[in-house]
Structure 1
């Protein structure tokens, strides 16, 4: 039974590390990221087409 107690902590750490990596990857994009990118693109397009009279 010593081999079981020797393998459990590294196995638990490996599984936990896998969940951490999965959470990091899942938080790096998705629908929210697409909405933010679309909003930023819309603002940039609006700024590009704004009248230049205010700058003069």
Structure 2
């Protein structure tokens, strides 16, 4: 029965990892894609519009 206790943790971790990948793949696209894209676009626009601080100034 030692082989069962040796194989159980990797099998459980593999099952959780497969579930995580399936969840990520299923959540791509769909009705939330437009909201996610809009949030990323807004964050990029804020980052580009923010003045850069700490940079050296060229003469």
TM-score of Structure 1 vs Structure 2, range by shorter chain: 0.5 to 0.7
1:30 paired with 2:34, answer no
Structure 1 residue runs without a partner (length 5+): 41-56
The ranges of structure 1 where at least 4 consecutive aligned residues each deviate by more than 4 angstroms after the TM superposition are none
Which segments of 5 or more consecutive residues in structure 2 lack a partner in the other structure? 39-59
Over the aligned positions, Cα root-mean-square deviation in angstroms equals 2.0
TM superposition score normalised by structure 1:
0.54
1:7-35 CA deviation, whole Å, 9 max, x = no partner?
Answer: 000000000000000111011112443xx
TM-score (norm: length of structure 2): 0.52
The count of residues paired between Structure 1 and Structure 2 equals 36
Work out whether 1:16 is the aligned partner of 2:16.
yes
